[in-house]
Amino acid sequence: MNFNVSLKRVVDDSYDIQTGYGLLDSLVSDLEAGLVGSRKRLAVITDDTVDRLYSAQLMKRLADAGFKADKFVIPSGEKSKTRQMKERIEDEMLEKGFRRDCAVIAFGGGVVTDLAGFTAGTFARGVPFVNYATTLLAAADASVGGKTAVDTPLATNLIGLFNQPKKVYIDIATWKTLPKEQLSSGLAETIKHGCLGDRELFEYLEKNIEKVFDCDSEVCEYISQRNCEVKYRVVMQDERESGLREVLNLGHTVGRALETAADYKLLHGQAVAVGLVAQARLGEKLGFISKQNVQRVIELCKRAELPVTVPDYVELNELLDKLYTDKKVRDGKLRFVFQHEIGQMMCFGENEYGKQISREQIADVLSGM
Ligand SMILES: NC(=O)c1ccc[n+]([C@@H]2O[C@H](COP(=O)([O-])OP(=O)(O)OC[C@H]3O[C@@H](n4cnc5c(N)ncnc54)[C@H](O)[C@@H]3O)[C@@H](O)[C@H]2O)c1
């Protein structure tokens, strides 16, 4: 006998991104207005740095508004983005009586939003979550777009879900407490957006990049908005990364491999900057970008105080091996995405943005960096 289980779904996962200064009141009033339905039980997932700086204000506001919120605090840094940490949070949530009628608030940078979004996606088969981003990197990239994941010993982000938040809050006021190297790290994803889809943003950064370190409000607001626009132009067309979304991976083939090969001594954005330079140098050899524009990419990364060469302590062969953990690998062959000059991507066929690259080709570039 054969039964057809007909389960066609029409899903509307649209959501708002709010950018501004001090958005805790907005978050609480949105929750009161039903952002996560009638749920009153909230799991606030954060890390110990953000906890120390900001969570008392959040917890008080939630309690005052009648929500029953508990905090789940992880040690800050990439090494917390693991299956083990997810399990620890889940067990603590279960012990504290959390069930299906709860929602998750991810309160922090990209490590927190990736881990909390993934946890929300599987807890009790999925509960709603919101992202409250407190780093430039999370604002520029991690908190928007719906990719959630944890790292494994083999490589970053290999286990995860596409899971869209109910809303994203980008609180620029929190950037004031970010260490300079964290602002630099976020700038790498911002430069990436300029390279891949927004020449005006790139040129704006060429004029103003240092002002980000002073948290200049006009500049921070401008880059927040442009980052979201670039990312959304791409994600709205290809949520599940079946083609176009691969362009957001610019610089990440080498960047991700370098993160693990360097045992996370480099921040995500620092590794991405090296990856951006690597794809630009390789792109120059392949005729996709002029020598002058490669220099502009390198110069902008340097002004953002980002590394532009592979650190000496990274062994080239180990780095090359790690490249093969990339999600774009097809039939065991490396594929790279490339910028076309400044502000556009190379397209290699219908909905085809990746180009096959041999180990020797990329080894040649990396060994010279
Ligand atoms: N899902 C995606 O699409 C996507 C895209 C890009 C990056 N990512 C992921 O994002 C992560 C990197 O994000 P990140 O750089 O925000 O990492 P992070 O969450 O580790 O934050 C960086 C550091 O800043 C601290 N911090 C956070 N907010 C602060 C504040 N306001 N003031 C002072 N310190 C603060 C944190 O405690 C941490 O030490 C990586 O895991 C990367 O894989 C995901």
Of residues 315, 335, 324, 327, the one with CA closest to residue 261: 315
Q: What is the reported pLDDT for 306? A: 98
Q: Is 268 in the pocket of ligand 1 (CB under 6 A)?
A: yes
Q: Give the Å distance between the CA of 362 and the centre of ligand 1.
A: 28
- Long-range CB contacts (< 8 A, 24+ apart) of 202-210? 202/296, 202/300, 202/342, 202/343, 205/300, 206/296, 206/300, 209/300, 209/303, 209/304, 210/303
Q: Is 174 in the pocket of ligand 1 (CB under 6 A)?
A: yes
CB 349 within 8 A of CB 368: no
Residue nearest to atom 7 of ligand 1 (CA): 142
Q: Give the Å distance between the CA of 27 and the centre of ligand 1.
A: 20
* Residue 53 in tokens: 């700086």
Average confidence (pLDDT) over 157-179? 96
Average confidence (pLDDT) over 264-285? 97
How many whole angstroms from its chain centre is CA 213? 20
Average confidence (pLDDT) over 76-83? 96
**359-367 vs 316-323: helix axis angle to the nearest 10?**
140
CA 88/CA 78 separation, integer angstroms: 16
Residue nearest to atom 36 of ligand 1 (CA): 76
Look at residue 240 and tell me whether its pLDDT is greater than 80. no
Of residues 165, 169, 168, 162, the one with CA closest to residue 238: 162
Q: Is 19 in the pocket of ligand 1 (CB under 6 A)?
A: no
Domain borders along the chain are 16-176, 180-367
Look at residue 235 and tell me whether its pLDDT is greater than 80. no
Q: What is the reported pLDDT for 45? A: 98
Check if 16-176 and 180-367 are the same fold: no
For Cα atoms 26, 31, 34, give the angle at the middle one, nearest 5 degrees. Answer: 125
Q: Give the Å distance between the CA of 147 and the centre of ligand 1.
A: 14
Q: What is the pLDDT of residues 336-345, one digit of tens each?
A: 999 999 999 9
The CATH number of the domain covering residues in 16-176: 3.40.50.1970
Q: What is the reported pLDDT for 179? A: 97
Average pLDDT, rounded, for the chain = 95
Look at residue 8 and tell me whether its pLDDT is greater than 90. no
Q: What is the pLDDT of residues 290-337, one digit of tens each?
A: 999 999 999 999 999 999 999 999 999 999 999 999 988 999 999 999
Mutating to test ligand 1, I would choose from 78, 182, 230, 253 the residue with most ligand atoms within 8 A of its C-beta, which is 182
Lowest mean pLDDT among 12-16, 178-182, 257-261: 12-16
* Residue 244 in tokens: 């176009």
Q: What is the pLDDT of residues 103-143, one digit of tens each?
A: 999 999 999 999 999 999 999 999 999 999 999 999 998 88
Mutating to test ligand 1, I would choose from 55, 132, 137, 270 the residue with most ligand atoms within 8 A of its C-beta, which is 137
CB 18 within 8 A of CB 168: yes
Mutating to test ligand 1, I would choose from 141, 159, 268, 270 the residue with most ligand atoms within 8 A of its C-beta, which is 268
Question: What class is the 180-367 domain?
Answer: mainly alpha
Q: Is 114 in the pocket of ligand 1 (CB under 6 A)?
A: yes
Residue nearest to atom 30 of ligand 1 (CA): 178
Q: Is 259 in the pocket of ligand 1 (CB under 6 A)?
A: no
